[in-house]
Amino acid sequence: MMFLEHNLTIEQLIQGCRNGERKAQESLYKLYAAKMLGVCMRYATDKMEAEDMLQNGFIKVFNKMNDFRGEGSFEGWVRRIMVHASIEYYRKHHKMMQVVDIDTAHDVQGVDPLASSNLGVKDLLALIQQLPPGYRMVFNLYAIEGYSHKEIGEMMTISEGASKSQLSRARTILKEQIAKLEGKRYENVG
Amino acid sequence: MKMSDKELDQLFSNQLNDLEVEPSAELWGKFMPEIPGNKTRSGLGPMISIAATLLILLTAGLLFMPRTQKLALHGTYDPQQTINEAVAAVTQQPSATDNLPDEPAEQPTEQQPVNATVVSVKHPVSRKIETTTTDIQPLVNPADSIQKLTLVKPVNISKPERHDDIIKPISVNTIANAAPKTVPAVNPIKALAANTTPEVKAGQAVKRKKIHSLGDLLNVVIAKVDKRDNKIIQFGQNDDDEDELLNVTGVNLGPIKVKKQN
């Protein structure tokens, strides 16, 4: 860990960032960039989009550094900011694509079945990234982040019902895609 | 294989919750300028600035400080003033200076300061004569010496080492000119005048000059502050360049000295 190598605690890094020290900011970025890009990748369609989300998220982190009161883990605080930055990005760029016909959603491209016998991280990530943006947001927030439909409704400014509906459709698509992948794998093996 | 909703959620959560992806190398540099703050951790920056300012001020102060030489004489009168007056009297009448070796005693009362100077100088001379050779002793007019010694302040006698500045050039001259028919009492005056007149003359020359232009006025003001031979800046006459308000003829910034040769 970088901050351990430099004998700096996370508190010292935070204080350095609050003082506007470039080195502290860079160290903090390097400490969390990979983890937070992993979060953003689930909300994005590709790495380029995820990096845009990450960039916006880190700008918020550094601007709101004084808002962190030490309640809960700092990483959890940064992660929440990244999720909100991803939602904001989605609102800006994908709002028009929110309503996707369930039939067209079935036509998402399948994942390469030879990539892994069991569904690996890359396959699952690819499946999520191929979901329609609205479904992807709700599925991520509910299944992975653990937010309730009420919270998701507030965060995305949609109704609870819409959140439930989108989650249900997302699950259906994912199940179909997984079945398709496993079926192809069995075909190739057989 | 049928997968429940919960199983599906867990599959994705377990695999992707701790996902880490390395961002592009240039990403930090891309958005770093948008983050407020560019302070360095070093606290020496302001200290260095303050130190540099102090150094500049001190250097300038030492460079432009007028040089004054104080004679550490203990007495009721001011010997420096006396010397200056004597030298001024001598330089105002160059002919008197030239004639002094021949007519040392012809201006006795009017040039009282000269006598005073001579007396204060004469003491070591006469002492030197006593210690070196008796042949020279007759060269000194005994009557004159006695008359002048009456003006000697006891302090000057009791502390001869305080005359070092004056004695040195005089004693050299005394030995060098210890030829017959040389009046030692006069040579010290010449030596003294030679040593002190350049500064005094320079100052008086500026004072005596009539102020015709702004340059002259500035020269006078600068001469008041800057006592060096080469002033920090000197202005000349605008004979040719009438368009120019000031004609700079010399600049002296300590290590950098520029002087226009006329």
Read off the pLDDT of residues A142-152 as tens digits, 9 standing for 90 and up. Answer: 999 999 999 99
> By C-alpha distance, which of A188, A34, A25 is closest to B22?
A34
Of the two residues A113 and B145, the one the predictor is more confident about is B145
Could you tell me the pTM of the whole model?
A: 0.48
Please say if the pLDDT value at position B150 is more than 70.
no
Subunit contact A37:B22, Cβ cutoff 8 A? yes
CATH 1.10.10.10 applies to domain A98-190: yes
Q: Which residues, including other chains, have CB under 8 Å from residue B198's CB and lie 6 or more apart?
A: B229
Band (pLDDT 50/70/90 cuts) for residue B61 is confident
* Residues of B whose CB is below 8 A from A37: 20-23
The residues spanned by each domain of chain B are 79-197, 209-259
Q: How many CB atoms lie within 10 A of CB A56?
A: 21
Q: Do B16 and A38 touch (CB under 8 A)?
A: yes
- pLDDT attached to residue B121: 45
Q: Which of A20-34, A51-65, A163-177, B118-132 has the lowest mean pLDDT?
A: B118-132
* Percent share of chain A, pLDDT over 90: 65
Chain B CB contacts of A119 under 8 Å are 11, 15
The predicted structure's pLDDT at residue B230? 81
Q: Note whether A62 contacts B36, CB cutoff 8 Å.
A: yes
Average the pLDDT over B56-60 and give the result. 90
B33 or B187, higher pLDDT: B33
Q: Which residue has the higher pLDDT, A99 or B32?
A: B32
- C-beta atoms of B12 and A139 within 8 A: yes
Do A37 and B17 count as a contact with CB atoms less than 8 A apart?
A: no
Report yes or no: B14 at the A interface, CB cutoff 8 Å: no
> Most A CBs within 10 Å: which of B13, B35, B40, as the mutation test of the A interface?
B35
Q: Is the pLDDT of residue A158 over 90?
A: yes
A-chain residues near B3 (CB < 8 A) = 175, 178
Query: How would you write B41-100 as a 3-class SS string?
Result: CCCHHHHHHHHHHHHHHHHHHHHHCCCCCCCCCCCCCCHHHHHHHHHHHHHHCHHHHHHC
- In the sheet with B233-236, reading across from the earlier edge strand, the strands are B233-236, B247-253, B256-259
* Interchain pair A124, B17: CB under 8 A: no
What single-letter DSSP state applies at residue B162? G
Q: What angle do CA B154, B159, B163 make, to 5 degrees?
A: 105
Alpha-carbon gap: A137 to the closest alpha carbon of chain B (Å): 14
pLDDT band at A75 (very low <50, low <70, confident <90, very high): very high
Minimum-distance CB partner of B21 among A22, A37, A143? A37
Question: How high is the mean pLDDT of chain A?
Answer: 84
Q: How close does chain B come to A153, measured CA to CA in Å?
A: 19
Confidence of residue B134 (pLDDT cuts 50, 70, 90): very low
pLDDT at B117: 42
Task: Please judge whether A54 and B39 are an interchain contact, meaning their C-beta atoms are less than 8 angstroms apart.
Answer: no
What are the chain B neighbours of A26 within 8 Å (beta carbons)?
Answer: 28, 32
Q: Which CATH number fits domain A1-93: 3.40.50.2300, 1.20.1730.10, 2.60.120.460, 1.10.1740.10?
A: 1.10.1740.10
Tell me the chain B residues in contact with residue A144 when contact means C-beta distances shorter than 8 Å: 9, 12-13, 16-17
pLDDT in tens, B3-35: 789 999 999 999 999 999 999 999 999 888 888
Domain boundaries, chain A: 1-93, 98-190
Highest-pLDDT range among A3-12, A125-134, B27-36, B112-121: A125-134
Per residue in B188-224, pLDDT tens? 445 444 454 444 444 444 455 577 788 888 888 888 8
Q: How many CB atoms lie within 10 A of CB A104?
A: 9
Any chain A CB within 8 A of the CB of B181? no
Cβ within 8 Å, pair A25-B17: no
Q: Does B64 contact chain A (CB < 8 Å)?
A: no
Nearest-5° Cα angle at A119, A114 to A120: 95
Between A67-71, B90-94, B138-142, B243-247, the lowest mean confidence (pLDDT) is in: B138-142
> How much is the average pLDDT of B72-98?
69
Of B177, B179, B171, B182, the C-alpha closest to B102 is B182
For position A115, what pLDDT does the model report?
41
pLDDT tier, A14 (very low <50, low <70, confident <90, very high otherwise): very high
Report how many Cβ contacts below 8 Å link chain A to chain B.
Answer: 105
